[in-house]
Amino acid sequence: MSFVHEPYDVIVVGAGHAGCEAALAAARMGAKTAIFTMNLDSIANMPCNPNIGGTAKGHLVREIDALGGEMGKCADKTLIQSRTLNTAKGPAVYSLRAQIDRRSYQQVMKHTLECQENLHLCQAEIVDLVIRNNKIEGVKTHIGSFFPARTVILTTGTFLKGRIIIGDVSYDAGPDGLLPANSLSESLKRHGIELMRFKTGTPARINRRSIDFSKMIEQPGDDPIVPFSFETEKIEREQISCYLLYSTEDTHRIVRENLHRSPLYSGTIEGIGPRYCPSFEDKIVKFADKKQHQIFIEPMGLDTEEVYLQGFSTSMPEDVQHAMIKSLPGLENAQIMRYAYAIEYDCLNPTDLKLSLEFKKIDGLFSAGQINGSSGYEEAAAQGLMAGINAVLKIRGEDPLILDRSQAYIGVLIDDLVTKGTNEPYRMMTSRAEYRLHLRQDNADARLTPIGYKIGLISEERYRKFIKKQEAIKNEIERLRKKTVPPSVKVIEFLDKYNSSRIKSGIKLYDLLKRPEITYSSLKEIDNEMPDLPKVIADEVSILIKYEGYIAKQMQQIEQFKKMEEKMIPEDINYDEIQGLRIEAKQKLAKLRPRSLGQASRISGVSPADISVLIIYLNARSRRSKRNEG
Amino acid sequence: MANIQDTDTIAAVASAIGNAGISIIRISGSEAFNVATKIFKGKGNFNEYSSHTIRYGKIIDPDTNEIIDEVLISKMAAPKTYTTEDVVEINCHGGFITAKRILDLLLRLGVRPAEAGEFTKRAFINGRIDLVQAEAIADLIGSITEKSSKVAVTQLEGRLSQILQRIRKSLVEILAEIEVNLDYPEYDFEEVTINQCVQIINGIIGELKNLIESFDYGKVLREGLNVAIIGKPNAGKSSLLNRLSGKNRAIVTDIPGTTRDVLEEYVNIQGVPIKLLDTAGLRETSDVVEKIGVEKALEVIDLADLILFVLDAHTGFEKEDSDILEKVEDYYSKILFVVNKTDKADEEKLKEIKIKIPEIIEISVLEDYGIDVLEKSILQYVNKAEIDTDNQIIITNARHKKLLVEALDCLKSALSAAEAGMTLDLISMDIKNAAEKIGFITGHEITEEVIMNIFERFCIGK
């Protein structure tokens, strides 16, 4: 008889970016939580690029923070370079991106877990799930003990049956020299969970001291640093630069001559790799006419000389990698510290999940992160947070928290995965969001903090601050709407200065600010009553006024969208009995069991005609049940 | 309970009203055979006819025993029918009056009038056809002449969708170029400039406008051009109507007792459907019956796309003519003046007419003179009749038109955003909306397509 531990409300399997958010959210919401990792020294590891954020991903971090998650705060504490991307391309796509001190991030996150009330952090490999009558009962560790649990969240990343491939060499392993999790993969299969095989890869790491940076273009950070977290007021820190270089004709020749030795082309790798992350050999084959490719050097941290070679991932054999790297300008004498590798791993089919990230067929079992077919730390963390929240809501007997596509990138991410599935590691992109002018990073708090407060992840104090900020924004917009400036000499001079057309009669500051060439801060020159507002508030006022028409249009579209999202499909619906649904649609709907008509309409293979039939059926059904009641 | 939709029996004129020499009344539902048995008298009992056969007989009002029309009746038992229900189709003589009387009879027997498109809706709910097919079939039903059915068939075969695919593709390509720079700002792809976008969008706006404009013509092809024939009594209106219709139509119908009402004939001039409306004389009258006719006639004139004003070359331009002209003055721009009876022309009086009305078409129905010239003039009124349907894509579906107009609006708003100096993320939003509208017609999902296009064309990776 194995040792039976005391029972937990929530057990999280894996302490990567998804697992950490899941465990913290659950514990903070008051659930008795345990989180397991195979190695306590690899918590919140970044086995690939040492950065957080970027387009759409930066939005995710902001949203995680607005809901009360940890990633943004941890990144703020440990970032060593920060940039805002896309500043010239519009507010919907402004994106924060930061280089992170990888070790510090891990330590800060580990310490946060350790200090969290209700949370038990424990080193153990989970080898089996205990499921009875389609309901999760707990997990078993590699030493044979049993942890009973009301809910379990799988956040196993790329560890399930991990296999690393370097050229013609391959071996079972997790990422970054860690052990794979083979038994759990078998356990999932035994429980009837369908597994897929995905692939990803990471480039080599080089010793900074062996690099000649004079041949590269320096990319320094922005000043001032814009924090991820709405709670971080200011970051003052010395920043470390990244460097840009280009591949050479020689590099391309080496790749071409050795293509037959790449496991991607020799057939050794069977997993499906992401389109947006081709290995360097993929780039050479698919974009044969490109003479050079961009490569970035990113620092791995302050206390290390290790740097990351962004844009140069490969699964070529060691000797070819060696030659490829040495052909790069500035890397002629490079000392390779870790070779690039491709990794294959098991993941599940996300369409087996509900929008709450709970398994459709296994009560109380949730999963989040790369195991769900996504890619990226931010995507993982976002799912982890939602799974943690929903596990607790389930225990409380409350409705799950489901963010829709008009509320958050998190909603887009989960809806895409769960509704459409994916056949490659899924990366968040701004172009995936229909309502991205509304889903801005600057208003993530306005969108989500009230929700975070309601479920108990946002403190009273933070919420009060949030309300104050929103009021300040509203008041300033009102003030600008009311205040008129006359066509005085001063105002005309001001307009001339900014190449803005002159006015003949008085104009509201509000209307003046709508002009693209006039900025909020410049208005100070003609507005002596302008309050001294924090930059975040001034920026928000400016965006809301300048893009008012567009935002209003988007809100209308959102209203339309919501109508279909709010039409719920009863859980006991039997698609077989609906006349007029095509067989393909019946099968897809029966398998995916969408929550609403809106979700149903996004399932591939379900046509608008099928949706019309479904609408008619649901109407008739509700008419019938009303009749029966009456 | 498998069958969720209403299963009551419905009926309607299945050929658009007044659309053809023969009208088809379709009855669908479980009571279809019963009601048919009650009103149809032919050889044998309707109930015993085998399925999918056509019989000849009479429609008789069971209450009054009055014969309403001689008809062909088809019986089609479920499920191999248009709606998958029991279906009866009655082919009666043209004009809406007979059809309407039969329909009234059916309604009296408890059949419900079908809503617009309800047969097709039942067909599609019962799994017979999909939405696109349903739309094309709806158009096919409406298309009576060869030319318009050709348009419907072309759309089914995807010529319209080919054009739309091309437009959608160029939109997706600009989007990919914009989006790749938004989503991968760290890469130095050549940035698409707002000017380049504007240029491409302008081109597409032109194409969309052409497609949308073609809808009006499509409507004429589908619904026919309404042509009213007016003129004093004995000017030769009826003979002209008979001449135009007699040459072209399959069945000539004469409905007695309706001379004061408006006569409707559907004719086909070089493939274009024309609905001819013969009006009662437009004289001032104290006769109540005639008065109704006059009012009706004015109504028809108002609705008509084209008015043929028939004058008499023998009697010349009389007071009666000028009275009528006064009444229709407001419609002057859509009047074609036709001078009939040139065989009996009084040269002086003809000259007089020509002075009063500079542009006339001289015809003689009796000698078959000038009819071809008249037909050509009518065709010119079919707006943009020069459009050759063989080479031109025409929009005939109102849903398609609506989506195209919406797509056009989105692109226009993209242009004005560009002009106002807005940023690329906003411009791209409008372009994406436009592409999505077109995707609704062709059935494509835009987001995934843009992302695919990005990965195919741009080299990105870690």
| Distance to chain A for B58, nearest Cα, Å | 36
User: Which secondary structure element, helix H or strand E, spans residue B266, and what is its range?
Assistant: strand B263-269
| Vertex A507 angle, CA A504 and A508, to 5° | 175
**Residue B215: which pLDDT band, with cuts at 50, 70 and 90?**
low
Give residue B396's pLDDT: 61
Give residue B254's pLDDT: 36
CA atoms within 13 A on the CB side of A519: 7
pLDDT, one tens digit per residue, over A555-596 is 988 998 998 899 899 999 999 988 778 788 899 999 999 999
Q: If contacts are CB pairs under 8 Å, which of residues 525-584 in chain A contact chain B?
A: 547, 550, 554, 577-582
| Distance to chain A for B223, nearest Cα, Å | 26
Taking CB atoms and an 8 Å cutoff, what residues of chain A touch B452? 275
Of A528, A557, A586, at which residue does a domain stop? A557
Number of separate helices (H) and strands (E) present in chain A: 20, 22
Give residue B267's pLDDT: 72
- Whether A512 maps to a domain, the answer reads yes
Q: If contacts are CB pairs under 8 Å, which of residues 338-397 in chain A contact chain B?
A: none
Q: Strand pairing of B10-13 and B112-113? A: parallel
| Distance to chain A for B324, nearest Cα, Å | 52
Burial class (CB in 10 A: 0-12, 13-18, 19+), B371: middle
Whether the CB-CB separation of A329 and A247 falls below 8 Å is answered with no
| Measured CA distances, A441 to A476, A594, B346, B395 (Å) | 20, 29, 86, 42
Tell me which range, A185-199, B80-94, B415-429, is most confidently predicted by mean pLDDT.
A185-199
- For residue B62, is pLDDT > 60? yes
Question: Where residue A604 sits, what CATH number does that domain have?
Answer: 1.10.150.570
Both A574 and A527 in a single domain?
no
Both A520 and A584 in a single domain?
no
Both A606 and A579 in a single domain?
yes
pLDDT, one tens digit per residue, over A419-478 is 999 999 999 999 999 999 999 999 999 999 999 999 999 999 999 999 999 999 999 999
Q: Which amino acid is at B375?
A: E
Residue of B nearest to A201 (CA): B462
- For chain B, helix, strand, coil in percent to 5 are 50, 15, 35
CB contact under 8 A, B179 and A581: no
Q: How many domains does chain A have?
A: 2
CA dihedral (A361, A367, A372, A377) in degrees, to 10, reads: 170
Taking CB atoms and an 8 Å cutoff, what residues of chain B touch A54? 186
Q: If contacts are CB pairs under 8 Å, which of residues 36-75 in chain A contact chain B?
A: 48-49, 54-56
CB contact under 8 A, B461 and A581: no
CB contact under 8 A, B455 and A276: yes
CB contact under 8 A, B461 and A621: no
Cα separation, A338 vs A204, in Å, equals 5
pLDDT, one tens digit per residue, over A316-333 is 999 999 999 999 999 999
- For residue B5, is pLDDT > 50? no
Both A553 and A474 in a single domain?
yes
Across A101-233, the runs of DSSP E, i.e. the strands, are: 119-123, 126-132, 135-141, 146-154, 163-166, 169-172, 195-202, 205-207, 217-219
DSSP-assigned letter for residue A353: B
Q: What are the residues facing B58 on neighbouring strands?
A: B41, B70
Q: Which of B83, B125, B183, B460 to mutate to test the interface with A (most CBs of A within 10 A)?
A: B183
CA B423 to chain centre: 43
Number of separate helices (H) and strands (E) present in chain B: 15, 13
Cα separation, A70 vs A116, in Å, equals 12
* Contact residues for B254 (Cβ-Cβ < 8 A; gap 6+): none
Both A481 and A534 in a single domain?
yes
B3–A contact, CB cutoff 8 A: yes
Cα separation, A229 vs A234, in Å, equals 10
A487 preceded by a cis bond (ω within 30 of 0): no
- Whether A40 maps to a domain, the answer reads no
CB contact under 8 A, B183 and A293: no
Taking CB atoms and an 8 Å cutoff, what residues of chain B touch A432? 447, 451
Both A551 and A624 in a single domain?
no
A314–B contact, CB cutoff 8 A: no
Both A504 and A544 in a single domain?
yes
Residue of A566, A540, A553 whose CA lies nearest to A444: A540
Residue of B nearest to A287 (CA): B459
- Model ipTM? 0.83
Taking CB atoms and an 8 Å cutoff, what residues of chain A touch B426? 90, 92, 437, 547, 550
Cα separation, B18 vs A16, in Å, equals 73
CB contact under 8 A, A580 and B179: no
B286–A contact, CB cutoff 8 A: no
| Distance to chain A for B336, nearest Cα, Å | 46
Cα separation, A493 vs A500, in Å, equals 10
Give residue A309's pLDDT: 96
CB contact under 8 A, A89 and B460: no
| Distance to chain B for A578, nearest Cα, Å | 6
A224 preceded by a cis bond (ω within 30 of 0): yes
Least confident range of A240-249, A478-487, B184-193: B184-193
Give residue B98's pLDDT: 75
B348–A contact, CB cutoff 8 A: no
DSSP-assigned letter for residue B339: E
Q: Which of A89, A437, A579 sits opposite B424 (nearest CB)?
A: A89
Q: Strand pairing of A33-37 and A8-13? A: parallel
- Kindly report the average pLDDT of chain A as a whole number: 94
CB contact under 8 A, B5 and A577: no
Whether the CB-CB separation of A2 and A141 falls below 8 Å is answered with no
- Whether A603 maps to a domain, the answer reads yes
Q: Which of A48, A517, A620 sits opposite B4 (nearest CB)?
A: A620
CA atoms within 13 A on the CB side of B141: 23
Give residue B123's pLDDT: 72
CB contact under 8 A, B461 and A279: yes
Across B36-127, the runs of DSSP E, i.e. the strands, are: 40-42, 53-60, 67-76, 87-93, 112-113
Q: If contacts are CB pairs under 8 Å, which of residues 243-302 in chain A contact chain B?
A: 275-280, 282-283, 286-287, 290, 293-294, 296
Cα separation, A183 vs A162, in Å, equals 11
Give residue B79's pLDDT: 86
Residues in chain A: 630
Taking CB atoms and an 8 Å cutoff, what residues of chain A touch B78? none
Cα separation, A552 vs A437, in Å, equals 10
Higher pLDDT, residue A159 or B284: A159
Q: Strand pairing of B225-230 and B272-278? A: parallel
- Whether A494 maps to a domain, the answer reads yes
Cα separation, A16 vs A22, in Å, equals 10
The first and second tokens of residue A7, run together, are: 């029972």
- Whether A67 maps to a domain, the answer reads no
Residue A357 region by backbone torsions, left for phi larger than 0, else alpha for psi between -120 and 50, else beta: left
Q: If contacts are CB pairs under 8 Å, which of residues 405-434 in chain B contact chain A?
A: 417, 420-426, 429
Q: Could you tell me the domains of chain B?
A: 10-129 (3.30.1360.120), 154-218+394-457 (1.20.120.430), 224-381 (3.40.50.300)
Please state, as a whole number, how many other Cβ atoms lie within 10 Å of the Cβ of residue A136. Answer: 24
Taking CB atoms and an 8 Å cutoff, what residues of chain A touch B117? none
pLDDT (average), residues A142-166:
96
B189–A contact, CB cutoff 8 A: no
- A-B CB pairs within 8 A amount to 139
Backbone angles phi, psi at A202, to 5 degrees: -145, 145
- Whether A540 maps to a domain, the answer reads yes
- Whether A393 maps to a domain, the answer reads no
Give residue B266's pLDDT: 66
Of A533, A557, A581, at which residue does a domain stop? A557
CB contact under 8 A, A580 and B126: yes
Q: Which of B4, B184, B445 sits opposite A621 (nearest CB)?
A: B4
- A577 is in which domain, residue-wise? 567-629
Both A493 and A576 in a single domain?
no
Q: Which of B133, B177, B182 to mutate to test the interface with A (most CBs of A within 10 A)?
A: B182
Both A600 and A571 in a single domain?
yes
Q: Which of B5, B182, B426 sits opposite A620 (nearest CB)?
A: B5
Both A546 and A608 in a single domain?
no
Both A513 and A574 in a single domain?
no
Cα separation, B131 vs B328, in Å, equals 44
Of A524, A557, A590, at which residue does a domain stop? A557
Tell me which range, A344-348, B19-23, B361-365, is most confidently predicted by mean pLDDT.
A344-348
pLDDT (average), residues A285-302:
92
- Whether A115 maps to a domain, the answer reads no
Cα separation, A383 vs A391, in Å, equals 12
